[in-house]
Amino acid sequence: MNKIFVNGNIVTMDPNQPKVEAIYIENDIIKNIGSNKEILNSKDNSTEIIDLEGKTMLPGFNDSHMHLIDHGLSLNKCSLVNIYSIEELINKIISFTKDNCSDWILAEGFNQDKFKDKKLPNRYDLDKISTDKPIFITRTCLHLGVANSKALKLAGILDHIPEIKGGEIDLDNNGNPTGILKENAMKLITEKIPTPSKSEIKNLIIKSANILLSKGITSIQTDDLNSVNGLDYKDIIKIYKELINENKLPIKIYEQCRMNTIDHLNDFINNNYNNYNGNEFFKLGPIKLFTDGSLGSRTANLREPYHDDNSTKGISTCNQNELDKFVMKSHNIGLSVAIHAIGDKAMDKVFNSIKKAYARNPRRDVRHGIVHAQITDEKLINEFKLYNVIAYVQPIFLNYDVHIVDDRIGKNRAKTSYAYKTMIDNNIKISFGSDAPVETFDVMKGIYSAVTRCDLQGNPKGGWLSKEKISIEESIYNYTMAGSYSSFEENIKGSISKNKKADLVVLEENIFEIDKDKIKDIKISMTFVNGILKYKNN
């Protein structure tokens, strides 16, 4: 059915017509935009007229980096997000187990920086919950986990402590495992956790996608292919293909294809997945890999030691030689890369690899990207600009990071980090996302963070590194057009323009007139995908 929206504050993200009153949709395509009078001339007896009553309409939001399946899996775990002590953590999990009969006890989302003593829990803390069932909990960043003694025994870690490339098993003064595992060491535990069925994975994808619609998100770029222990990347692709064939995917998915080894990448190419086009609801995008960890767990790879722990520079999860092979192989066959790098040293390595790839094969419009890109300086900013590398950033990270960055890395390094305004001023492409389930994918909270540079309680007053604040318009652009650019889809979505897909979101409040400190609380009124109403706030 054709639709006309009238009486709207429609902000298009199209520089040719930045703001209009009305739009006309024919099936799934925006056919015209303009004044009420102009657009109403297109109606016939079958046209549905929707009165926006002055509400603000924007292009549907595009979360440029998240983990959809991980978010779905988190819905069945004990949430430790709002926990402020180890004792409270223990009690929360004990309460959770009363209604949960699974063989494993799984929880995620704790942040020891919220604890008074800043101390990480250990195996002995978790043994107070159970010594009969294996327990594994992950920090909010998902780069550090803690296992109880039962889980460590199942993984064989109590009998033998292996060397872990790109990971770390924490030991006490007697050389015994504390239960704390970092980066690749976590796999020793996760590979023992039972694999969900494919039907369970399907249901979790659909459930998570519908929650995303309630936040106005119509497209995502997600890292899923190695999310589920016991399933390889082909299994996950097959699950998504089945959902396409069953017409059950409610949002548009662009997969950031994580490959853990160069052999996996070669297998991906040998199976011709690099030429798989899918359809608008599921496409395979850049090759994704990790070069370091997270700032919160002190595993982000830095050039110099951490300011609050000079014994470490973090963890390198992929050495320069391996990274060179990944990037060169991807670059040469026409694929982009989207590489997780938070620390300055990690980004140095990524740019070293990108330079080598361009030197051998000067492709155009490649759109390589760095995911997170947090600890930057002038040298790195210049390299983003020189090689036209996309920065996939998550402004909602500021909610937590404003409280730790100065201490973690020192004010000298911090003052050039999370440099959104500097990047924009240097014409660097930045694309906003959430990294969910690490942080919330609530776009209004993300925009608030970028505009105010404050946590969700409004601290620090005036914003952290306030010179890096950006405008509301720039923030919306980075959640819409910038996202479509990073998936090579800027010609079909990302703005409310003629002949683009009718992916639309209507807000309950006018984001351009409301107090900036209230942006985070704006609710979504309606979400449309291809012109079809997928969510309505009742």
Rounded-to-integer distance, Cα 440 and Cα 66, Å: 10
One-letter identity of residue 102: S
Question: Please, what is the average pLDDT of the chain?
Answer: 97
pLDDT at residue 36, as a whole number? 97
From 22-26, 274-278, 298-302, the region with the lowest mean pLDDT: 274-278
450 closest CA partner among 393, 410, 531: 393
Rounded-to-integer distance, Cα 124 and Cα 188, Å: 19
- Domain spanning 73-190, CATH class: alpha beta
What is the mean pLDDT of the segment spanning 201-212?
Answer: 98
The CA-based diameter of the chain, rounded to the nearest angstrom, is: 81
pLDDT at residue 122, as a whole number? 98
From 56-70, 90-104, 234-248, 442-456, the region with the lowest mean pLDDT: 90-104
The two tokens of residue 84 are: 């402020």
DSSP 5: E
Which part of the chain is CATH 3.10.310.70? 73-190
- Residue 243 reports pLDDT greater than 90: yes
pLDDT at residue 101, as a whole number? 79
pLDDT at residue 179, as a whole number? 97
pLDDT at residue 102, as a whole number? 87
Radius of gyration of the chain (CA): 23
pLDDT at residue 516, as a whole number? 98
- Residue 99 reports pLDDT greater than 90: no
Q: What is the pLDDT of residues 126-142, one digit of tens each?
A: 999 999 999 999 999 99
How does residue 100 score in pLDDT terms, banded at 50, 70 and 90? Answer: confident
Rounded-to-integer distance, Cα 440 and Cα 463, Å: 20
Rounded-to-integer distance, Cα 494 and Cα 252, Å: 12
Rounded-to-integer distance, Cα 471 and Cα 461, Å: 18
61 closest CA partner among 483, 536, 491: 483
In terms of CATH, what superfamily is 3-54+501-536?
A: Urease, subunit C, domain 1 (2.30.40.10)
% of the chain at pLDDT higher than 90: 96
- Within 13 Å and on the Cβ side, how many CA atoms surround 156? 9
What is the mean pLDDT of the segment spanning 464-479?
Answer: 99
The continuous run of DSSP H or E covering 66 comes out as strand 61-66
> Edge-to-edge strands of the sheet including 390-393?
61-66, 217-222, 252-258, 282-290, 337-341, 369-372, 390-393, 430-432
- Residue 485 reports pLDDT greater than 90: yes
- Residue 530 reports pLDDT greater than 90: yes
- Residue 200 reports pLDDT greater than 80: yes
Return the axis-axis angle of helices 320-332 and 344-360, rounded to nearest 10°: 40
Which part of the chain is CATH 2.30.40.10? 3-54+501-536
How does residue 492 score in pLDDT terms, banded at 50, 70 and 90? Answer: very high
**What 3-state DSSP class applies to 353?**
helix
How does residue 184 score in pLDDT terms, banded at 50, 70 and 90? Answer: very high
What is the mean pLDDT of the segment spanning 472-498?
Answer: 99
Q: What are phi and psi of 109, to 5 degrees?
A: 105, 5
- Within 13 Å and on the Cβ side, how many CA atoms surround 382? 3
Q: What is the pLDDT of residues 351-404, one digit of tens each?
A: 999 999 999 999 999 999 999 999 999 999 999 999 999 999 999 999 999 999
Q: What is the pLDDT of residues 7-60, one digit of tens each?
A: 999 999 999 999 999 999 999 999 999 999 999 998 888 999 999 999 999 999
For every residue of 412-480, DSSP letters joined together read: HHHTTSS-HHHHHHTT--EEE---TTSS---HHHHHHHHHH---TT--STT-TTGGG---HHHHHHHTT
- Residue 1 reports pLDDT greater than 80: no
Check: CB of residue 447 under 8 Å from CB of residue 472. yes
